Amino acid sequence: MASHRKWSPTGTRIAGIRTPALATAALTSVALLSQTANAAPSADSKPSIEEVEKKVDDLYHQAEAATETYNATREKTAQQRKRVDSLLDDVAQRTEKLNTAREELGSFAAAQYRTGAAAPDTASLLLADNPQDYFDQTQLMNRLTTRQKAAVDDYVTEQAATTKKRAEASKSLQTLTTTQSALRTSKADVQRKLAEARSLLSKLTAEEKARLAAIEKKKQEAADRKAAELAQQQAAAEKKAQEAAAQQQTASGTSGTSGTTGSAGTSGSSATDSSYTAKADKALAFARTQVGKPYVWGATGPGSYDCSGLTQAAWKAAGVDLPRTTWDQVNVGTTVPLSDIKPGDLVFFYDDISHVGLYVGNGMMIHAPKPGAYVREESIFYGGESIIHSVVRPA
């Protein structure tokens, strides 16, 4: 017979609580407190303005690096496309020659059939897909006229050359397909980084955007101070060099041979400096006319630029051809110390050399900064001295 005892809950009992009602209330309170504790961090999980700024800057930097990858891949794709087009044209011309040679063989065979002058083996040779193989096997060369022999030789030569060129074209097409795929990947990478940066900025309130602008202004002021310091240091160094040159000129005036040698050396150096200055002035004049145009990744002008597209176009205006990407531009010309930087020099940034600007003097440069910005004049210390990679004199 079933027991009629009341069911008694088992399990761990909370100390000090003896009634079911109180136990239920206590457990509910604990659960609510736990939920509150877990919910609290989500309210504070929103990144600070400084964190947003750093994240956006990092994304723009990554986008610039991806842009240079895109630029390099696009240039490679263009070169490969030219090669493929050239090979295909060559194949078409060789195929035409091959057909002409085969037609000539066919006319010989047809004429011999009509006159009955040809042995069956001779006609088979002239109409064979590979006359050389057939000839090697049947020893028919003695039956052919000189003109016929030349026709067979031409056909065999053109057939071999055409086959080789077709293979090259096929391989080049495969390479082109690979580079086009890499180009699409690079493009998608840039777009993804930029979309993420825009998403972060779009979530900021008006007050947060104002605070972010204030942070940017503070950084710009610090960068301008560093630029002014560099300008002062260079002015002091130049003054010292002029005084030393004046003293040397005075001393050389009292000496004979040594003064002549020193004067010749100075003259050669001055001529080199003058030549570079003339070219740099042209590059800078071009760059100044581009100020205010938008940064667009992958652009080389005239309506918009990315960083390396601008420096390439500026120096091209001075008659100097620079490569397309920052990674190649950094290897052109002569690397100089920051203390010796001159107007027209290229300033490269970051360890991955993903950004470049054109130095204008007094610690300032003209550059295409980042997506959403415009070509502008700015301190080379805009991101701090630590991100300056190197300075290159391109001509």
Write out pLDDT tens, residues 246-266. 888 888 765 555 444 455 555
- Give the max Cα distance, the chain: 136
Average pLDDT of every residue of the chain = 79
110 or 319: which carries more pLDDT confidence?
319
Q: How far apart are the first and last CA of the chain?
A: 108
CA distance 302 to 294: 10
Active site residue 4: no
Helix (H, G, I), strand (E, B) or coil at 356: strand
Measure the CA angle with vertex 374, ends 228 and 225; round to 5°. 15
- Which of 4, 61, 367, 389 is catalytic? The answer is 367
Q: What is the pLDDT of residue 147?
A: 62
285 or 134: which carries more pLDDT confidence?
285
CA distance 218 to 222: 6
Helix (H, G, I), strand (E, B) or coil at 391: strand
Rounded to 10 deg, the angle between the 146-202 and 49-115 helix axes is 160
CA distance 109 to 225: 90
Please give the DSSP secondary-structure letter assigned to residue 294.
Answer: B
State mean pLDDT over 150-175. 76
Please give the DSSP secondary-structure letter assigned to residue 14.
Answer: P
CA distance 294 to 372: 7
Write out pLDDT tens, residues 329-386. 999 999 999 999 999 999 999 999 999 999 999 999 999 999 889 999 999 999 999 9
- Which of 4, 61, 307, 389 is catalytic? The answer is 307
CA distance 346 to 348: 6
State mean pLDDT over 156-170. 77
- Measured from the Cβ of residue 227, the count of other Cβ atoms closer than 10 Å reads 20
Active site residue 61: no
Could you tell me the pLDDT band of residue 387, with boundaries at 50, 70 and 90?
very high
Give yes or no for residue 13 having a pLDDT over 80: no
Task: Please report, rounded to a whole number, the percentage of residues in the chain having pLDDT higher than 70.
Answer: 72
Token reading at 32: 């609510």
Active site residue 367: yes
Q: What is the pLDDT of residue 100?
A: 77
Task: Please report, rounded to a whole number, the percentage of residues in the chain having pLDDT higher than 90.
Answer: 38
Token reading at 171: 């391989």
- The alpha carbon of residue 85 and the mean position of all alpha carbons in its chain are separated, in whole angstroms, by 24
CA distance 154 to 163: 14
- Find out whether 329 and 367 touch, Cβ atoms under 8 Å: no
Helix (H) or strand (E) holding 342: none
Helix (H, G, I), strand (E, B) or coil at 282: helix
CA distance 237 to 243: 10
Write out pLDDT tens, residues 261-280. 455 555 556 677 889 999 99
- The dihedral formed by the CA atoms of 45, 49, 53 and 54, expressed in degrees to the nearest 10: -50
- Find out whether 151 and 108 touch, Cβ atoms under 8 Å: yes
CA distance 318 to 285: 9
Q: In this structure, what are the phi and psi dihedrals at residue 370, rounded to the nearest 5 degrees?
A: -170, 170
- The alpha carbon of residue 354 and the mean position of all alpha carbons in its chain are separated, in whole angstroms, by 8
- Kindly give the residue spans of alpha helices, DSSP state H, lying in the chain: 20-44, 49-115, 120-127, 131-138, 146-202, 206-253, 257-290, 307-317, 326-329
